[in-house]
Chains A and B, each alone.
Chain A
Amino acid sequence: MAIVKWKNPRLYDPWADLQNLQNEINDLFNYDRVPSSTGLFDRSVTPAIDFVEGENDYTVKCELPGLEQKDIDVSIASNVLTIKGSKEENKEEKKGKYYKKEIWSGSFQRTISLPATVDSSKISAELKDGLLTIILSRKEETKPKQISVSVK
């Protein structure tokens, strides 16, 4: 072995592994993402997303490391946002061995139902360092209105 994972005893928290295991088991029970299967041998994968509901806009972040603009397809229909794409691993014939293989490849799709209609003319999507950020503006009529109370 030319390379070995090293655990620094100063950094190594004996509780962390147990905590991670517990979280993973909890996630299994809270699993509400149904991976859509695309084919018999196509493993469907789901990149992690964040969806933040702000006062005037919604922000969607999606982790897509190693993908380029041409690999990603973002579309919106009424109030459903879809992020689609595919991540191909390089299929070169290589002579060697893998010590570890954790990176997935294949096609993915995430759909998000937006709580309200958005202004489809004001959508910005930016891909930077493998992180896709989509900002959608809410329509004027769906923004929460402040009602001033007058005291008599």
Chain B
Amino acid sequence: MDRKKEIENKKRRFPASTDIFQDEEAVVLTMEMPGVSKENLHIKVDKDLLIIHGERKADEDAGHYRIREIRQGDYYQEYTIDDTIDREKIEATISNGLVTLKLGVKESEKPRKITVQVK
């Protein structure tokens, strides 16, 4: 029971809506984080763990909520990435609450074309 309380007391965290697209060059994550600014977006890579955390400040507006559909809390998601991802080629951009995270694939892992010689 204590554990349940502990979870309830923590700030709510939930994953953002995400598109994950992979091609030969990179894995691209697009995440919708309305209300998250550049300063409040934290992306960390720790060995195989990729942590994406978009903080939002909880602001209660004074008054009576007639409609309340916007979820309160932070955007939080963790992923495990394997060795095909080049740790040096990770870049993130945010604009209008839309986060694009590009994880570059290592050169050695990219599919290579082998040209066939005709003799």
Contact = CB atoms under 8 A, between A and B. Distances in A.
A61 B66 CA distance: 12
A127 B13 CA distance: 24
B91 to A, nearest CB: 15
A48 B84 CA distance: 37
Contact of B37 (A16, A59, A96, A129): A129
Contacts of B35: 63, 129-131
Interface in B23-63: 23-24, 27, 29-30, 32-37, 49-50, 61-63
Interface in A49-79: 49-55, 59, 61, 63-68
Interface string B9-27: 0000100011111111001
Interface in A19-55: 48-55
Interface residues of B, number: 47
A5 B78 CA distance: 6
Nearest to B59: A61
Contacts of A8: 78
Contact of A50 (B67, B82, B84): B67
Nearest to A66: B98
Given A53-B63, A54-B63, A65-B96, A6 B37 contact: no
B77 A5 contact: yes
Given A4-B80, A131-B35, A52 B61 contact: yes
Interface string A95-110: 1111111111000000
A151 interface: no
B81 A3 contact: yes
A3 B64 contact: no
B22 A103 contact: no
A48 B78 contact: no
A103 B18 contact: yes
A65 B32 contact: yes
A100 B20 contact: yes
Given A6-B79, A59-B61, A96 B23 contact: yes
By Cβ-Cβ distance, the 6 closest A-B pairs, closest first, are A130-B97, A96-B23, A54-B63, A66-B98, A130-B34, A65-B97
Interface of A: 1-8, 11, 13, 15-16, 48-55, 59, 61, 63-68, 94-104, 112, 115, 127-131
Given A49-B67, A99-B22, A129-B96, 16 more contacts: A2-B103, A13-B4, A16-B7, A50-B70, A52-B61, A52-B66, A53-B65, A55-B62, A61-B70, A63-B34, A63-B35, A66-B32, A68-B96, A95-B23, A103-B18, A103-B32
